[in-house]
Amino acid sequence: MRKRLPILFTLFAFLGIASVQAQPLQLKQGPVKFQKSSRTALAPRNAIELGENQIWFGYYDPQGLLYEVGSAKPGVGVWGIYLPYEKAPKGHIDGVRFLWQGETYKDLKVLLATSLVYNADDADIAVINLKNEDVDAQEGITKEFAFDQSYDIPEQGVYVIVSYNITRDIPSPDYDDADAYNEWVAEYWTDAYPLFTYWQTDAVPNSLFCYMQDNNEWFDYPGYGQPLSLALDLLIGGIEYPHNAADASNFAQTYVLANSETSLPVTITNKGDHPVSSLGFKVEVEGEEAQTGTVTLDTPIEKMDQTMTVYFPVRTGDKTGRKTVALTITEVNGEANEVEPTAATGYIFAMAQSEQMKPFVEEFTGTWCGWCVRGMVAMEQLAQDFGSDAVLTAVHYNDPMALKDYYNVTRYFSDGFPSMALNRMGTVDPYYGMYDMTTVNAYKVKEVVEIVKGMLTPGSIQVEATWTDEAQTKIAVNTTTTFQFDADESPFAIGYLLLADRLTGEGSNWMQKNSYSGNAAAAQGDENLLPYVDQASPFTAVYNHVPVAVYGVSNGVSGSIEGSVQIGKPISSTFEMDITDNTLVQDKEKLSVAAILIDKRSWEVINSDKAVISITTGISSVATSAATVPTACYSLSGQRMGMNHKGLSILRQADGSTMKVINR
């Protein structure tokens, strides 16, 4: 089964981003609230001087984006993490550190247990009470606490749970009155959100649990797809650790120009107890050593098991096509790497020049999804902003427009609902893009599509489509692909989609739920979202960009590109769609055909195109054999035109016969 790439990895690698702004949080209903923090993690006030063979270990990320968390009301809050025995260093627990800013509270404590426990009496390893004067709640800085004794990590692992009780009344904030809301923030913010989490680029298992008192159950946020980690570490001692050690993880494919130097984005993990400031490396291309060198980091990788994306230079050579690359970390901080390094592998794809990229945008949505309204809004705006320069697809799930053939793509590339995949390189919010939902008037996904539009690509595709029978049940699809590399066989294939606009239906399953209905706070004053505050939920909607039939949408139709590939030499392909029994097709004048160039190995889309369907006239029937596939279109004066030329044209078929057509 194909392994999914980390969310946004390849896209962020292209942008040169190691730590990015958070995506909007769509959390399970409950008492817990999250707010993005404007603060960064400050140096600990009561810092512990590490002893010999001691390290901080856990989910604390000094480079991460902070979110402040709490129930925004008085009462007990309970948050925790879990460290499996096989992941935690095999030593003992000597202390803890976390970020805290609460001011009016009691009973702040840390519980150590072999299971998730809500009451201190059930903690079977230890209960550590933290005194208010030790916490010194100011500025949301890190607090470090050394324990009076050490605690062994049991074989079943350890749960680390922070419990507290906010003792003051906290009224609900008035989001609609800016002055009143600012007064609420000044007065109640720190007690409403006393703890901190980090937003990561992917969900880390076991990194954030919360006890939902209203439901009397624990909730696993990473397990629900929310990439959040509690800003908490354990002080682990009793082990002799390596000092200067690092390892590299396998990396994604990078598109580059031949005879140039590029930068490979590689995830590096600190495997020692010293911060990693520089990395000596060796790069091999196709099994041959290509270069060696040293990369100095602007920001050190501080902790053991902390990761960072680091960029390593590599020369591409003059040969085009896909090449295997292996990178090995040979030195750390100028010393020999103290762990046996594993060569990280990936690919570069070298091309003679880049074709023009036409982004393929997949919005994952459903009529049952109230927050998907913002995806609908963004898709219509993207259609206006990009026109034919992007191919937009609204992929429905678990509603009347859902296609079983799209399930695997949805499974691997959606990041919940709503979300949006761009060329299947990574997933962003379909409206906010890489911004968070506290940003006002943040139709920012346009910026991400613009970035993808400017990316390098080794291939282009043009699609033309024609009805081949008077009843309009069969569509001849012609594509022309041009590549900028030489290969005995193409690593790419073509997928085909039939897209429909203006779909409607009867019944509740066709009604679009609307989480913005009556929810001015969620709209954030956004001029594009505010109209939906006054809209009902659910409401009768008209759906655009919907795939109503797909062929090879995951990794392309087998044999769609055959034979060898040569730089700049066009390759023609044909395909037929038969929609005789398709019940999703409503208005044939609202249909279009899209073709996508897919990397058969990764399912990534390297280019796309879309065309309206030409209409033939003056025929009673048209054979659909290869001999009668349309191959060229001419004006009445004999000038060759594109297959989608508007008006009356002459269509030449593969067998040399011609017919008159009207393209609308």
DSSP label at residue 8 = T
548 C-beta neighbours (distance < 10 Å), count: 18
What whole-number distance in Å separates Cα of residue 193 and Cα of residue 188? 9
Of 173-177, 231-235, 390-394, 649-653, the range with the lowest mean pLDDT is 649-653
CB 84 within 8 A of CB 157: yes
Q: Average pLDDT for residues 530-551, to the nearest whole number?
A: 96
pLDDT at 141: 59
Question: How many angstroms separate the CA atoms of 489 and 563, rounded?
Answer: 6
| Residue-level pLDDT at 620 | 39
Give the Cα-Cα-Cα angle 611, 379, 21 (nearest 5 degrees): 130
Radius of gyration (C-alpha) of the chain in whole angstroms: 29
> Which of 110-124, 164-178, 478-492, 549-563 bottoms out in mean pLDDT, i.e. has the lowest?
164-178
Supply the pLDDT for residue 381: 96
Tokens 């090449």 -> residue = 323
| Distance from chain centroid for Cα 405 | 21
What tokens were used for 301?
A: 């990788």
Residues 6+ apart with CB under 8 A from 448: 11, 422, 428, 433, 434
Residue 226 vs residue 123, higher pLDDT: 123
| Token pair listed for 330 | 């040979």
Per-residue pLDDT averaged across 173-194, rounded? Answer: 82
Asked if the model's pLDDT at residue 659 lies above 90, the reply is: no
Q: Could you give the angle at which helices 445-453 and 373-386 cross, rounded to 10 degrees?
A: 40
* CA-to-CA separations, 558 to 134, 598, 613, 634, in angstroms, rounded: 66, 11, 24, 31
Q: Is the per-residue pLDDT at 543 higher than 50? A: yes
Q: What is the pLDDT of residue 51?
A: 79
Neighbours of 384 (CB within 10 A): 7
DSSP of 552-573: STTT--TTSS-S-B-TT--EEE
* pLDDT, position 546: 98
The 3-state DSSP class for residue 282 equals strand
Q: What is the mean pLDDT of residues 365-383?
A: 96
Among 202-206, 354-358, 555-559, the range scoring the smallest mean pLDDT is 202-206
Give 212's pLDDT tier (boundaries 50, 70, 90). Answer: confident
Provide the percentage of residues in the chain whose pLDDT is more than 90: 52
What is the β-pairing status of strands 658-663 and 647-653? antiparallel
Residue 243 scores a pLDDT above 60: yes
Is residue 382 predicted with pLDDT exceeding 70?
Answer: yes
User: Would you place residue 5 in the very low, low, confident or very high pLDDT band (cuts 50, 70, 90)?
Assistant: very low
Residue 494 has a pLDDT of: 98
pLDDT above 60 (res 42) = no
Strands (E), 123-253: 126-129, 142-152, 158-166, 195-199, 209-212, 217-220, 228-230, 232-237, 246-248
Q: One-letter amino acid identity for 550?
A: V
- DSSP-derived secondary structure letter, 38: S
Taken as a whole, the chain contains a residue count of: 664
Neighbours of 587 (CB within 10 A): 11
pLDDT at 88 over 70: no
Q: What is the mean pLDDT of the chain?
A: 83
Give per-residue pLDDT as tens, 253-296: 889 999 998 888 999 999 988 999 999 999 999 988 889 999 99
Per residue, the 3-state secondary structure of 7-27, as one string, reads CCHHHHHHHCCCCCCCCCCCC
Q: How far apart are CA 635 and CA 177, in angstroms?
A: 63
Tell me, rounded to whole angstroms, the distance of Cα 185 from its chain centroid.
32
Which of 465, 427, 430 lies closest to 444, judged by CA? 430
pLDDT at 449: 96
Which of the four pLDDT bands, split at 50, 70 and 90, describes residue 124?
very high
With bands split at pLDDT 50, 70 and 90, how would you rate the model's confidence at 231? confident
Give the CA distances from residue 26 to residues 34, 175, 371, 417, 480, in Å, rounded to whole numbers and listed in that order.
Answer: 10, 18, 8, 9, 42
Least confident segment among 5-14, 47-56, 98-107, 276-285 = 5-14
Q: Is it the case that residue 11 has pLDDT exceeding 60?
A: no
pLDDT (0 to 100) of residue 644: 55
pLDDT of residue 134: 57
Percent of the chain with pLDDT over 70: 80
Give residue 655's pLDDT: 57
Task: Decide if 610 contacts 391 (C-beta within 8 A).
Answer: yes
What pLDDT shows up at residue 23?
29
For 384-413, the pLDDT digits (tens) are 999 999 999 999 999 999 999 999 999 888
pLDDT given at position 34: 44
pLDDT of residue 649: 63
Q: 641 pLDDT exceeds 90?
A: no
**pLDDT digit string, tens, across residues 55-78:** 888 877 666 667 788 888 889 999
Share of the chain residues as helix, strand and coil, in percent rounded to the nearest 5: 15, 40, 45
Which residues neighbour 500 within 8 Å (Cβ) at sequence distance 6 or greater? 546, 547, 548, 584, 585, 586, 587, 590, 591
* Least reliable range by pLDDT among 246-260, 425-439, 608-622: 608-622
At 33, the pLDDT band (50, 70, 90 cuts) reads very low
Assess contact for 228 and 239: CB atoms under 8 A: no
pLDDT value of residue 136: 53
Burial of residue 328, with CB atoms counted within 10 A of its CB: 0-12 exposed, 13-18 middle, 19 or more buried:
middle
Segment holding 463, helix H or strand E? strand 459-467
Pairing of strands 75-83, 158-166: antiparallel
Reference 79, options 189, 182, 162; nearest CA is: 162
Element at 450 (helix H, strand E): helix 445-453
- Is the predicted pLDDT of residue 592 greater than 90, yes or no? yes
Q: Would you state the pLDDT for residue 239?
A: 78
How far is residue 376's CA from residue 367's CA, in Å, rounded to a whole number? 11
pLDDT at 203: 64
pLDDT at residue 109 tops 70: yes
pLDDT at 4: 30
| 442-467 pLDDT tens trace | 899 999 999 999 999 999 999 999 99
Q: What is the pLDDT of residue 639?
A: 57
Report the C-alpha gap between 120 and 80 in whole angstroms. 13
Burial of 544 (0-12, 13-18, 19+ CB in 10 A): middle
